[in-house]
A and B are shown apart, each in its own frame.
Chain A
Amino acid sequence: MTAALGQYLQSGSFWYVLAFVCCAAGALIPGLLVVTSRNILHSALWLLPCLASVAGLFLLLGAELLAAIQILVYCGGIVVLVLFAVMLTHGLGHADVRVVNQQLLWGFIGAAGLAGIVLHMLSRQMWPVGSSLAPGDVTGRLAEALLSPYVLAFEVSSIVLLVAMVGAIVIARAEPE
């Protein structure tokens, strides 16, 4: 019994499962708080651990570069942007009287129904489980994929970013009186 447990701990499987459970809980519980917090500032701040845990899931899946991008773009960029917008529109910690609209019940029913249907389909489907990861440098292969077969998508997305940046500046600029 003890030997089996020791071997289990040695194999690394236990730690992988533990890390997965921590990341999953770290994504779902703050995610729930994002949509249920009465204060929009708290919602935006709860987004931070949620997105960092998604980066942890990427790491567990072996996508190191995506985890770094997730931290840089989401935790560093988008959350700060959202916090700026919250403070420019609401004032600090200004909780609304009513934070949900009149479709609260139907929203919950719709989302729970969708989750139920998809989970039911997942439980019926047998997925081929886990071949081991192809050898080689994942980040290097991602770079090669981005710059040889998918170079068009790469360049188009950079143009999208440029246009969005210019557009955001133009839209958010104060109107001349």
Chain B
Amino acid sequence: MTSAPFIPIQSYLVVSVLLFAIGLVGVFTRRNAIAVLLGIELMLNAANINFVAFWRYSGGAQMEGQVFTVVIITVAAAEAAIALAIILNVYRRFRTVNVDQINLMKG
């Protein structure tokens, strides 16, 4: 795809902003720890859309945007594995994964 892009970059940025806000709602409002993790994944994807869009619309000669995205996807995979392992452990100990019932450290 070497032709000029047909739509302004704002269309991608608006999709990215809305996806980020949706993820933020998930992180803020859900009780289940796994649902909070899903919200974080949505926010990471929104950031990735931004990186790739700016890479594309700056001409695509500099590859930093894609390199950033590769690193973010790697870290997101590691983060999901660790977070789900922690959630499994929490479930084994407290018999719940609701974040508002796990308040052992609340004074």
Give the shortest distance, in Å, between B23 (CB) and chain A (any CB): 7
Q: With A101-B31, A134-B61 in contact, do A111 and B21 touch (Cβ < 8 Å)? A: yes
Q: Indicate if B102 sits at the interface (CB-CB under 8 A).
A: no
B8: which of A127, A141, A169 is its contact (CB, 8 Å)? A127
**Cα distance, A48 to B28, chains bound together (Å):** 22
User: Which of A35, A62, A131 lies at the interface centre, i.e. has the most chain B CB atoms within 10 A of its CB?
Assistant: A35
Contact across chains for B81 and A43 when beta carbons are under 8 A apart: no
CA distance A158 to B70 in the complex (A): 11
With a CB–CB cut-off of 8 A, which chain A residues contact B88?
A: 85, 88-89, 171-172
Q: State which size class the interface on B falls in.
A: 35 or more
Return the contact of A40 from the options B3, B18, B34, B70 (Cβ within 8 A).
Answer: B34
Which residue of chain B lies nearest to A102 when distances are taken between CB atoms in the complex? B100
B17 touches A58 (CB 8 A): no
**CB–CB A171/B89 < 8 A:** yes
Of A20, A34, A130, A133, the contact of B42 (CB 8 Å cutoff): A34
Q: How many residues of A contact B (CB 8 A)?
A: 91
Q: Is A9 an interface residue (CB 8 A)?
A: no
The interface residues of chain B lying within 8 Å CB-to-CB of A50 are 42, 45
Interface SS of chain B: helix
Contact check, B75 vs A153: say whether CB atoms are below 8 A apart: no
* Chain A facing B: main interface SS: helix
The answer to whether B34 touches A24, judged by C-beta atoms less than 8 angstroms apart, is no
A101-B99, A133-B56, A142-B66 known; A35 and B82 CB under 8 Å?
no
B105 within 8 Å of A (CB atoms): no
A93 within 8 Å of B (CB atoms):
no
Name the interface residues of B54-107: CB closer than 8 Å to any CB of A: 55-61, 63-64, 66-67, 69-71, 73-82, 84-89, 91-92, 97-100
**Cβ–Cβ contact B73 & A70, under 8 A:** yes
Please, which residues of chain A bring their CB within 8 A of the CB of B37? 82
Q: Report which B residues bind A (CB closer than 8 A).
A: 1-15, 17-26, 28-32, 34-35, 37-39, 41-42, 45, 48-49, 52-53, 55-61, 63-64, 66-67, 69-71, 73-82, 84-89, 91-92, 97-100
List chain A positions with a Cβ less than 8 A from chain B. 12-13, 16-17, 20, 24, 27-28, 31-32, 34-35, 40, 43-44, 47, 50-51, 54, 57-58, 61-63, 65-66, 69-70, 73-74, 77-78, 81-82, 84-86, 88-90, 96, 98-104, 106-108, 110-112, 114-115, 118-119, 122-123, 127-135, 138, 141-142, 144-146, 150, 153, 157-158, 160-161, 163-165, 167-169, 171-172, 174-175
